[in-house]
A and B are shown apart, each in its own frame.
Chain A
Amino acid sequence: MTTAACFIIASRNDIPIYEAEVGSAAKREDAAQLPQFILQAALDIVQDLARTTSAMILKTIDKFNDLVVSVHVTDDHILNISKPIHFLHFIIHARFMLLHDSRSDDGIKSFFQEVHELYIKSLLNPLYLPGSRITSSHFDTKVSALARKYL
């Protein structure tokens, strides 16, 4: 099992709608917010990359010290089932950003896929306002379980 530091789902406006500390990264008091800072800064790169590539999983797009950022970009055309597309576009365009300190590509890929499923499920919840913070504790426990399983 690798030690991952931080997992964030950022919405279209680059606003984090879900944050979780996964894995067992050693935490230092002075750098408690470092993972968030790294992920926030990495959004600049994700923004450009997501525009140019069609790949969903962007591996190791950024790194700082020993921490590596991997990103899963949800695609716009995945879920145009029942709702108007532009609306969907606004809703589901999210970035799953994982900050981890070593590479186990398969595990990360599976992790992203499973979290994506979870995310879509929570999107389908009529009480969830797209773009707002995900506060479901169920989601939280599921993500932690997935993190334990794959990372």
Chain B
Amino acid sequence: MEPDVSIETSCMIRIAVLPIGKVPPPLLRDYHSMLLPHHTIPLSTISSFYTEHQKSPFAHQPWDTGSLQFKFLLGGSPPSPWEDFQPYRKFLSVIGICHCPSSPDLDHVIDQFNAACKIYTSALVLRCFAFCPGDSQLDDGKKRENLVLFPPADRTMQEFHLHTMMQDIAASLLMEFEKWVLQAESSGTLLKTPLDSQATLSSEEVIKAKKRRLARAQKTIGDYCLLAGSPVDANAHYTTALELARLTADYFWYAGALEGSVCAILVDQIGQKDTGVEDEVRYRYNNVITHYRKSFIQDNVQRVSPITFELEATLKLARFLCRRKLIKEVVELLTNAADGAKSLIDANDRLIVYVEIARLFGTLGYQRKAAFFSRQVAQLYLQQENRFAATSAMQVLGMTTKAYRVQSRASIAKHSISNETEPGHADSGKLHHLLVVSLFESQWSTLHMVVLREILLSAVRAGDPLAAWSAAARLLRSYYPLITPAGQNGLASALKSAAERLPSGTRCADPALPFIRYMYLLIVNHEETVDSHFLNTPVCKKVDIIFYECRVYSFPLHPSQMDIVKRNPAREDWWAGSAPSGPFIYTPFSKGEPTKNGKQDLVWIVGEPVQVFVELANPCGFDLKVDNIYLSVQSGNFDAFPLSVDLPTNSSEVIMLSGIPTSVGRVEIPGCTVHCFGVITEHLFRDVHNLLLGAAQGLVLSDPFRCCGSPRLKNVSVPNISVIPPLPLLVSHVVGGDGAIVLYEGEIRDVWINLANAGTTAVEQAHISLSGKNQDSVISIGYEKLKSALPLKPGAEVTIPLTLKAWQLGLGESDTAAGKGASGSIGRTVKDGCCPSLLVHYAGSFGDARDLEKNKTSVPPGRRLIVPLQICVLQGLSFVKARLLSMEIPAYVGKGPSNPANVDGNPSNKAVGYGSKIERLVKIDPFRGSWGLRFLELEMSNPTDMVFEVSVSVLEKPSNEDNVSVDYAAEYGYPKTRIDREYFSRVLIPLEHFKLPFLDDSFFSKDLQLDESTSGKNSSLSERNTKSELNASIKSLVSRIKVRWQSGQNSCGELNITDAIRVALQSSIMDILLPDPLTFSFRLARNVSKNAANLDSPKESSINIQPSMSNSSVIEHDMTPMEVLVRNNTKETIKMNLSVTCRDVAGQNCVEGTKATVLWAGVLSGITIEVPPLEESKHSFFLYFLVPGEYTMVAAAVIDDANDVLRARAKCESPDEPIFCRGPPFHVRVIGTA
């Protein structure tokens, strides 16, 4: 059997093309390819070479339209035993090809040529073409038979020469055919086939054979006519032959003649294939097949069988009909052929049949059928135990990979990848789905695996390590879930042994393991900066660990954030309004469908290292050693740093791959380059992306990451990355160490932060702002220092002072802090998120001004540095209890206060006396007219292990009413209170009186509401109002009192006493805050002109009290004129019933009763007065003291017709209850005269 046969093969003249001498294979191929175009030589062109010696037997030679067909067979082949039956099997001509430079001796060439031609006994024309002859060879005038020298010329010229020579050969052949036919017609030849019995012929058979001879001769003449390009002549001879053969029952030759006649029809009707011809061909060929089958002789079935001709005829017909329209018929023919192939004796014949069937199925578009038969071919090749057969098997199997969807990436790359990358992710969905199905179609996986295994086997046998490696890699990567661990190990060792035979640095298009998935891409590597969104996911815990490891072992990473902020050149605060482009692909701040297009832009900076996280998975049952893995960047402007990883069995690992962008432009990261199993492969993220997509849809066998225990993650695609020119880079550290700053609550400390420019361009602009919680703990920032340091050159640094004040710990925090303190450990953990951060926005120069005008976007971006202030607040002094201590000291009638310096709101007297400390604390209550001491007592505990010293200072503030604008502070020389560790102590803080100037209506209306609707809805409102009043008072009070503490050498701070005061005052807000409705006071009437009322109402506070000892003393047995002053603190007139009593030291009423020691004139009780609002009225009376000593005078009043305000103030329960007001006691010292 012969490959590549068709009906027209019968009219082709077979020419052997033989290399003579040494011809380098590429040149031989080149010369052969020069011959190939001359396969058809039209008869019209050979007439000049043709000479008619005798009358041509080809009477109907179509000299105008006909042609001779050549079939060149490079290297020739041994002669076929069927040459007599089908002359086209003969090599009718031999062409030798000689390359002159390598074979200088032309005589020797001729000898070689003649020797080579010896086996081609049937050759009628012999020619040896010598190409590129040297000058000496050309000059050698010796004429050699059959040697043709092609003078050196360009290719067109040579082809022209060759064409001429082929015409010459054609003419010679034609003349030889004529000769042969004339001879055969006249003398006749004995034609035999292997079918004919080789045994001695019986007489009967001899007669039979003689009969048949004529038919066979006619058939052969017809064949030569066909070869000579004369189909009409051929047809005539075939018709005769058919008649004769039928008569002699020579079915085999009948079929042969029939075949020839079909070919003659086709050659005759060349170019016009109408249905009539088609039907004729089909009919005749079916006949041919039948007759070949009939010629089957049982006798010599072991030796030779006409079945090959039957199959050949079937294939010829199939090839003729091979069109989509006739697919059913062709399939049937091919199925029959395949069926017949099993009865073929020679394996080579079967191989050829399968090859042809596969080709024809391929032509029909039945890829799976074609692949099936290709695989059969490969199996036949594999049965031949030699290397060349194995190579052929490998190549044939390589052709089936497309149908079996186990293609090598190398073969896909040529067609699809290029146009597949173009559409990007925009039209994912369907495209992706199909891609996934096609790439990872798992369903026929057993077949795919078989094919891959066969490729591996054949590649190993053929000694092609790269193909073996590729097949094993594909098998392992795509079908690892279906392979047992032992099988996986076997594949791994196959990979290794293949790699050993490969030169190092070999690249393979098909990746093996591990699976690599793109995770996140960070420019930043600091724990704090990892977005909380990521920290919540389990992977980020992992990322965190990686961070740690990287920091410790391999990379000295900048502990700072290097955000890039778009700069708005039009604004002073250029960073505002532009969210940092950030290191994150997803930020919770850009919630507006961040993954809608699946990609975000990233900006990298030339010269600054970047990190990319990828996850590797090894789902197989062996330990995988990745010798080298680095980012594969096609854009060429990125230096990737390799890493080596060991992946244990069934494991996955997140690794950080880093590199440095080297020039401005775009960076494409399609995947990683991996050096594993001794071969360099490209692992594309997209493939794994698709694989995971397929796994999500259940199309793929298994997800390699999940079976390694890695959590399911949303697939992230690689963002668009662009590289921009260098920017300044600030690096910060806290002077004195980057550890946490440990502060006690309320502690104030200065901290210095060092900013250094680690970039290559100067910082031109910088701005500091605060973010995060507890921002008020940063009291001051040295902006000026930073501003004055600008521009900050590369390498320069600046130190910025900060003043920090530790915040108060919350309830829970202080508990834990206390607990930690008690357990002895240092509670220095910095709680996440409660520390403020400094945001330093900085930028380099604006670049060229002209550029700026042209294009605003060309402004180089600024950056943001986040300096987290790691403040650890420890619990300091803690309040246990706070209360208000107050004491009333009665005033002396007629006498000024013992130390007027402390009279509230009287600064001029301050300087008068600096008596005992305690006296300075005594202050007059302007509303009661009495003197009092008021302290805030704080009980504090010290849970720390330090000693605290507390000092109190009061910032004296002149009262507002005086319009004295000068603030001045008076440091009271209070002794410092020392609180030892784990002790309690009390600190007294002097407080001033604070009351409202008068009993306000508005205030009372609130209070009224409170009273009227005690449990009403308004109560909360009024309470709130009361509280706000209180808060305002407390605030003004606190602002003047500083309670400082000091601990150790360098810890000092302030106590926040606001809360303490609030706690202390909570119980008696009203009493403290609100004035009494009435203020009573006494004075001696005789010095009234000089000594003004010592009542110090806010309105009259400018009146100075001028003590006058001469007038102010009270003497016994003297009529002492006295006045009682009643001041109305409300805004309404109050009518009252006033009474005055005087008591002696024993507390006895000494005005009334039988033993009265004080006589009086005037009215002392039941005095009815009406006091207008905010004014005072007086009532005069006289007292006559009989006994010297101390007396106490008390005024009291019962208010008539009290209004609601007063009732509320007095906290009356029933409206009928009389409202009773009592003034403070006044002392009168009566001096004896004796």
A residues apposed to B, CB below 8 Å: 13, 15-17, 33, 36-38, 40-45, 48-49, 52, 62-65, 132-133
Contacts and interface: CB of A to CB of B under 8 A. Distances in A.
Given A45-B369, A63-B335, A64-B338, A40 B437 contact: no
B342 A37 contact: no
A48 B446 contact: no
Contact of A44 (B339, B366, B375, B446): B366
A20 to B, nearest CB: 13
A42 B447 CA distance: 14
B327 A37 contact: no
B331 A40 contact: no
A16 B361 CA distance: 22
Most chain A beta-carbon neighbours within 10 Å: one of B328, B361, B444? B444
Contact of A63 (B339, B366, B373, B437): B339
B372 A41 contact: yes
Contacts of A63: 335, 338-339
B367 interface: yes
Given A48-B327, A62-B335, A41 B371 contact: yes
B368 A43 contact: yes
Given A15-B441, A45-B331, A45-B366, A40 B447 contact: yes
Nearest to A41: B372
Contacts of B338: 63-64
Given A44-B368, A44-B369, A48-B327, A65 B342 contact: yes
Contacts of B372: 37-38, 40-41, 64
A41 B369 contact: yes
Contacts of B698: 132
A114 B446 CA distance: 27
| 4 residue pairs, one from A and one from B, having the closest CB atoms | A41-B372, A44-B366, A15-B443, A41-B368
Contacts of A45: 331, 366, 369
Interface in B359-397: 361, 366-369, 371-373, 375
B352 to A, nearest CB: 17
Nearest to A32: B450
A49 to B, nearest CB: 8
A37 B375 contact: yes
A63 B450 CA distance: 21
19 contacts: A16-B443, A17-B443, A37-B372, A37-B447, A38-B372, A40-B447, A41-B366, A41-B371, A44-B361, A44-B367, A45-B331, A45-B366, A45-B369, A48-B328, A63-B335, A63-B338, A63-B339, A64-B372, A65-B342
Contacts of B441: 15
Given A36-B444, A36-B447, 4 more contacts: A37-B372, A43-B368, A44-B369, A63-B338
Contacts of B342: 65
A80 B198 CA distance: 70
Nearest to B375: A37
Contacts of A44: 361, 366-369
Interface of B: 327-328, 331, 335, 338-339, 342, 361, 366-369, 371-373, 375, 437, 441, 443-444, 446-447, 450, 698
B447 A13 contact: no
Nearest to A43: B368
B376 to A, nearest CB: 9
A64 B331 CA distance: 12
A40 B368 CA distance: 7
A41 B374 CA distance: 11
Contacts of B328: 48-49, 52
Would you call the interface of chain B mostly helix, strand, loop, or mixed? helix
B346 to A, nearest CB: 17
A16 B443 CA distance: 6
Contacts of A132: 698
A113 to B, nearest CB: 25
A15 B444 contact: yes
Contacts of A43: 368
A36 to B, nearest CB: 5
Contacts of B327: 48
A33 B454 CA distance: 12
A62 B366 CA distance: 13
Contact of B437 (A13, A62, A133): A13
B1017 to A, nearest CB: 58
Given A41-B368, A43-B368, A36 B446 contact: yes
Nearest to B698: A132
B781 to A, nearest CB: 63
Nearest to B366: A44
Contacts of A64: 338, 372
Nearest to B449: A33
A62 B334 CA distance: 10
A33 B339 contact: no
Contacts of B367: 44
A63 B447 CA distance: 18
A33 B447 contact: yes
Contacts of B368: 40-41, 43-44
Contacts of A38: 372
Contacts of B447: 33, 36-37, 40
A132 to B, nearest CB: 7
Contacts of A133: 443
A49 B446 CA distance: 26
Most chain B beta-carbon neighbours within 10 Å: one of A16, A43, A64? A64
A52 B324 CA distance: 13
B18 to A, nearest CB: 40
Contacts of B371: 41
Contacts of A52: 328
A8 B368 CA distance: 16
A52 to B, nearest CB: 8
A37 B450 CA distance: 10
A82 B367 CA distance: 37
A145 to B, nearest CB: 25
Contacts of A37: 372, 375, 447, 450
A52 B325 CA distance: 12
Contacts of A17: 443
A64 B334 CA distance: 11
B230 to A, nearest CB: 41
A48 B327 CA distance: 9
A141 B373 CA distance: 34
Most chain A beta-carbon neighbours within 10 Å: one of B441, B443, B698? B443
Most chain B beta-carbon neighbours within 10 Å: one of A13, A40, A42, A52? A40
Most chain A beta-carbon neighbours within 10 Å: one of B339, B372, B698? B372
Contacts of B366: 41, 44-45
Nearest to A62: B335
B965 to A, nearest CB: 86
A38 B437 CA distance: 22
A17 B698 CA distance: 13
B444 A40 contact: yes
Nearest to B444: A40
B437 A33 contact: no
Contacts of A65: 339, 342
Contacts of A13: 437
A45 B361 CA distance: 10
Contacts of B331: 45
Contacts of B375: 37
A125 B282 CA distance: 52
B553 to A, nearest CB: 47
B335 A16 contact: no
A15 B375 CA distance: 20
Contacts of B446: 33, 36
A33 B450 CA distance: 8
A98 to B, nearest CB: 17
B301 to A, nearest CB: 19
A122 B375 CA distance: 35
Contacts of B444: 15-16, 36, 40
B549 to A, nearest CB: 43
A27 to B, nearest CB: 14
A133 B464 CA distance: 38
A91 B372 CA distance: 28
